[in-house]
Structure formats: structure tokens, C-alpha cells
């Protein structure tokens, strides 16, 4: 049996850290959005045992360290299914270490694929609950779309979809260590925070400008050597008439929202001269499960 899934990247229209949870994780509050940049995930199951992950990037692990393999293990345990060999083939397009959820969305796609192959009838909420065991961003990536994410990222509230627009994503040549960036944050001392409630209202009003003007990421405050590239990309996006630009996740990618396709294309062309990993994408709505 074989099936294929699109694994869509995510961006963060806002990220705030509002406390610490009992398990030691940071309590997050963020607006997340799926975009059309995607990996292709093909899952094949046959009688046998073991999980193998293959990608077009040699440096990515193909064993249990890969989030797609972890997702498969979580699925089989929850579904009570055994006796199958699972091959997961991933064509990576989403940059690694960019804050775009590339690993998380592959894990979510694996859960969707296996549920479909075995006809489990699992609901979206049931898959999201499984996804909590795989990684913090995986629950959102199960359905994607536009959502408010709280807790570790697993408490999801669907939001009014982002208005149609053009999004330029740009990743500098370095990646940022997520644990390192979290270690730099003193959440109780954060002074500048995103207007997340304002973003939710702007979405309800269908105001792209209202969303763009309120975007903020508290992790930008603790950037060190990475700051120059992030600010240079944001400046270039705004110079090309982005309505707003901000770093996504813990970085290092930066994105800008545009209401004009020609302006977005011009920004992409200008940035690619310095930053080859630059993409023009569109918002993606929630996946039906």
C-alpha cells in the first residue's frame, strides 16, 4: 500500500512567550499560518518490520532520529498495528533549520498518510493528540491553515484564514539552534510583545495590512550574531513594499507579506542575489481530514 501527502511549511505571524509550564517547557502564544512551500511525503507499507526514511538530503537521518520515523512509531503504538515495514520517502523543499516547520510537517504528513492507508477513521483531533507526542509544532501541521497556538503549541484554535496575499520567504546561509535561542529568553523580562489579539481581530476583519503591522517575534530580541542578516532581509523586503516582515519561529528565515504580486516578485529577485534560498509562496487553508 502506498500514498502521498503534501507537507506544507508554516510561518509565525506572531510569537510570544507568556510563561513556563509545569513540565518545564515555555508557554507559547502564537498565530501560525501554512504556506504553499512544501515537501512531498510518500509512505509505503508492506508485510515486515521496521521504519526507513529516505530523503534527497544526505545529512538528514533516516532512522528513529527523524521526526517522520518517530511519527510512524507513535501511530503504530496508538493504533495497535504491527507486522508492517514502513518506507517513508521525502522530497525536501523546505529549508532545514529555518523556523518553517520542515521536520514537523513531515511528521504530520506521515500521521495523515498512515491513518489513510490503514483506514483508521481517526479524526483530525485524534491525529493532533498523537502529534503532541511527536513534537511541539506537529499538532498544528496536521491540519495547518490559520490558527492560534497556545501551551507548547498543541492547544489550537482555528482562526479566520489569512487574506489572499503573496509571501516572500528568505533564509540566510546559517541556521539557529532552537534550544540555544530558548535558553537566551527570560520570558518575564520581555518588554516588546506582539499584538496577537490585534492580529486575530485583523484576520476577522479581512485586513492584511492590519495583520502585517502587528506581526512580531520575541525571539528577535535575543538574536546575537544572527541579527545583521535578519535585519538586512527585513529591510530589503520592506524596501520592496512588503506590508510587514518578521522572522519566523526561532529563525533563521524571514518573511514579508505583500498585496502586490509584482512587488513580491521583485523582492524575491533582489534577495536571491545574496540569499539563494528565497521563495515566493501563497497562504494555504486548513486541510480537510
- Do 195 and 233 reside in the same domain of the chain? yes
Where residue 125 sits, what CATH number does that domain have? 3.30.230.10
- Do 6 and 113 reside in the same domain of the chain? yes
Phi, psi of 171 (to 5 degrees): -110, 125
Q: Which of 185, 187, 217, 219 is nearest to 199 (CA)?
A: 217
pLDDT tens digits for the chain (289 residues)? 999 999 999 999 999 999 988 888 889 999 999 999 999 999 999 999 999 999 999 999 988 899 999 999 999 999 999 999 999 999 999 999 999 999 999 999 999 999 999 999 999 999 999 999 999 999 999 999 999 999 999 999 999 999 999 999 999 998 888 888 888 888 888 888 999 999 999 999 999 999 999 999 999 888 887 889 999 999 999 999 999 999 999 989 999 999 999 999 999 999 999 999 999 999 999 998 8
- Do 244 and 114 reside in the same domain of the chain? no
Q: How many separate domains does the chain show?
A: 2
Q: How far apart are CA 71 and CA 57, in angstroms?
A: 19
Residue 122 lies in a domain: yes
189: Cβ contacts below 8 Å, ≥ 6 apart: none
- Do 107 and 145 reside in the same domain of the chain? yes
Residue of 16, 137, 171, 229 marked catalytic: 137
> Helices then strands (H, E): number in the chain?
9, 12
Indicate if 39 belongs to the active site.
no
Residue of 10, 39, 171, 229 marked catalytic: 10
Indicate if 288 belongs to the active site.
no
Tell me which residue range forms the domain holding 95.
2-158
Domain boundary among 158, 183, 200: 158
* Cell output for 206: 479581512
- Do 35 and 15 reside in the same domain of the chain? yes
Amino acid at each position: 500500500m502506498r500514498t502521498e501527502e503534501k507537507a506544507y511549511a508554516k510561518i509565525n505571524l506572531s510569537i510570544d512567550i507568556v510563561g513556563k509550564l509545569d513540565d518545564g517547557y515555555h508557554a507559547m502564544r502564537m498565530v501560525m499560518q501554512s504556506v504553499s512551500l512544501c515537501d512531498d511525503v510518500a509512505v509505503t507499507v508492506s508485510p515486515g518490520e521496521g521504519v526507513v526514511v529516505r530523503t534527497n538530503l544526505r545529512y538528514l537521518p533516516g532512522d528513529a532520529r527523524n521526526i517522520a520515523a518517530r511519527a510512524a512509531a507513535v501511530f503504530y503504538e496508538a493504533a495497535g498495528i504491527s507486522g508492517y515495514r514502513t518506507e517513508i520517502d521525502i522530497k525536501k523543499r523546505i529549508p532545514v533549520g529555518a523556523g518553517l516547520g520542515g521536520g514537523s510537517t513531515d511528521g504530520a504528513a506521515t500521521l495523515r498518510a498512515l491513518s489513510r492507508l490503514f483506514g483508521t477513521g481517526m479524526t483530525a483531533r485524534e491525529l493532533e493528540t498523537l502529534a503532541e507526542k511527536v513534537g511541539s509544532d506537529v499538532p498544528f501541521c496536521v491540519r495547518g491553515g490559520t490558527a492560534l497556538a497556545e501551551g507548547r503549541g498543541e492547544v489550537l484554535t482555528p482562526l479566520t484564514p489569512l487574506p489572499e496575499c503573496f509571501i516572500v520567504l528568505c533564509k540566510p546561509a546559517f541556521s539557529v539552534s532552537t534550544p540555544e535561542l530558548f535558553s537566551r529568553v527570560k520570558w518575564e523580562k520581555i518588554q516588546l510583545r506582539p499584538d496577537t489579539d490585534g492580529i486575530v481581530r485583523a484576520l476577522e476583519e479581512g485586513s492584511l495590512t492590519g495583520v502585517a503591522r502587528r506581526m512580531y517575534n520575541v525571539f528577535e530580541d535575543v538574536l546575537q550574531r544572527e541579527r545583521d542578516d535578519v535585519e538586512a532581509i527585513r529591510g530589503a523586503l520592506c524596501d520592496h513594499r512588503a506590508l510587514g516582515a518578521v522572522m519566523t519561529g526561532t529563525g533563521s528565515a524571514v518573511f514579508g507579506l505583500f498585496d502586490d504580486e509584482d512587488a513580491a516578485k521583485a523582492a524575491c529577485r533582489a534577495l536571491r542575489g545574496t540569499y539563494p534560498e528565497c521563495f515566493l509562496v501563497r497562504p494555504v487553508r486548513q486541510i480537510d481530514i
